Amino acid sequence: NISNDRPVIRQLDDAAINRIAAGEVVERPASAVKELVENAIDAGAKRIAVEVADGGKTLIRVTDDGCGIAAEDLPLALSRHATSKIDGSDLLNIHTFGFRGEALPSLGAVGRLTITSRVPGSEAAKIHVAGGKVEAVKPAALRTGTVVELRDLFYATPARLKFMRTDRAEAQAISDIVKRLAMAEPAIAFTLRDVSGGGEGRVTFRADRENGDLFDALHARLARILGREFAENALQIDATREGLRLYGYAALPTYSRGAAVAQYLFVNGRPVRDKMLTGALRAAYFDFLSRDRHPAAALFIDCDPTLVDVNVHPAKSEVRFRDPGLARGLIVSSLRHALAEAGHRASSTVAN
């Protein structure tokens, strides 16, 4: 009789803890891609190649030319809360995408993960983990950087498998996240390739390294990702207020959309989906757009990491500004100003 049994408190083992964490960190293949590409960016990569098969369900492979992981550190990279990026003493001062040390152990708990890596001056090595079982480090062949290969995501958690959508939908979500990350990193070359069915695979997205100054490089990258029409209709934004810098491109009202599909917001280089920020964008265009139209923009807010908390959610797409009114005010006033000026220019051209 269960009700008469005294409940027993047990410590969960690492594999169980990692599976639980994976539920938060890895919702779907696109979230795995996000974690792996962010790791490559944190590693200082200049080229990042993403290969996926079957919407990322059977294979996600991210190859980078970054700093690499030393052979003796490979087991550490797979252990929970182990990170090279912070020392834990200052959670308010974070300059990297990662800091929780959760992504790799989580992925290794719910899929088959192989990390192959090489640091300059050493031999390459690899480590494999499947369903939380870590194997010994083995020698490997690799010229430089790191290759992380994730196969059969969620095979170890059948309940999760059922929540995945069609290959097409998952592939779309992967493409969307790679594009968002590529927008924020015009100095890094990205490719996304679908290798389903073997062979060389279809390149779904390619962006070479963009040179030039910040705005030239960003404009070129946005033209590639959002299309030439966006780039030709985009107003350059650059404003600073009390330690917050807002820059990027916002499209003319005539280039508005029927849905809020072309709104890309970044805080300290992180793609974010934040109600306060999208609300500010809507407010800025309020006088310029009819109610059923939505502005298109790619906007970046950069500030001292102490002015914004990115620690809100494991997937890290929400942020909390120390002074939300300041961020909102900066967006609303600088966009309104740019739109009004563009309007004046347009009407004076007509008048002439």
Binding site for Mg ion (CB under 5 A): 39, 98, 103
Interface ranges with ligand ADP (CB under 6 A): 35, 39-40, 43, 64, 66-69, 77, 83-85, 98-104, 146
Retrieve residue 289's tokens. 């757009």
Q: How far is the CB of 34 from ligand ADP (least distance, A)?
A: 11
Residue 68 contact among Mg ion, ligand ADP, none, beta carbon within 5 to 8 Å by kind: ligand ADP
DSSP symbols for 265-299: EEETTEEE--HHHHHHHHHHHTTTS-TT-B--EEE
Q: 138 contacts which partner out of Mg ion, ligand ADP, none, CB within 5 to 8 A by kind? A: none
Q: Closest CB to Mg ion among 82 and 161?
A: 82
Task: Give the nearer residue to ligand ADP in terms of CB position, either 107 or 296.
Answer: 107
The distance of closest approach from Cβ of residue 303 to ligand ADP in the complex, given in angstroms and rounded to an integer, is 21
Nearest residue to Mg ion on Cβ basis: 98
Least distance to ligand ADP from the beta carbon of 77, Å? 4
Per partner kind, with CB cut-offs from 5 to 8 A, the member of ligand ADP, Mg ion, none near residue 321 is none
CB neighbour class for 352 (10 Å; exposed up to 12, middle 13-18, buried from 19)? exposed
Q: What is the 3-state secondary structure (H, E, C) of 133-172?
A: EECCCEECCCCCEEEEEEECCCCCCHHHHCCCCCHHHHHH
CA atoms within 13 A on the CB side of 26: 29
Taking the complex as a whole, the smallest distance from the CB of residue 306 to ligand ADP amounts, in Å, to: 19
Residue 265 CB, nearest approach to ligand ADP (Å): 22
Q: How far is the CB of 80 from ligand ADP (least distance, A)?
A: 8
18 vs 334, which CB is nearer to ligand ADP? Answer: 18
Q: Residues of 241-276 as b/e, b for ≥16 C-beta within 10 angstroms?
A: eeebebbbbbbbbebbeeeeebbbbbbbbbbbebeb
Q: Which does 100 bind (CB under 5 to 8 A by kind): ligand ADP, Mg ion, none?
A: ligand ADP
Q: Which is nearer to Mg ion, 83 or 334 (CB)?
A: 83
CA distance 48 to 182: 10
Residue number, 108 or 295, with CB nearest to Mg ion: 108
The partner in contact with residue 165, picked from ligand ADP, Mg ion, none with C-beta cut-offs of 5 to 8 angstroms by kind, is: none
Q: Which does 55 bind (CB under 5 to 8 A by kind): ligand ADP, Mg ion, none?
A: none
Q: Which does 85 bind (CB under 5 to 8 A by kind): Mg ion, ligand ADP, none?
A: ligand ADP
Neighbouring residues of 51: CB distance < 8 A, sequence distance ≥ 6: 59, 60, 61, 62, 63, 192, 193, 194, 195, 201
Write the CB contacts of 124 (distance below 8 Å, at least 6 apart in sequence): 116, 117, 118, 139, 140, 141, 142
Residue nearest to ligand ADP according to CB distances in the complex:
98
Residue 287: other Cβ atoms inside 10 A? 11
Which amino acid is present at 226? L
Between residues 109 and 277, which has the closer beta carbon with respect to ligand ADP?
109
What are the tokens at 1?
Answer: 């009789």
Cβ closest to ligand ADP, residue 103 vs residue 244: 103
Q: How far is the CB of 323 from Mg ion (least distance, A)?
A: 28
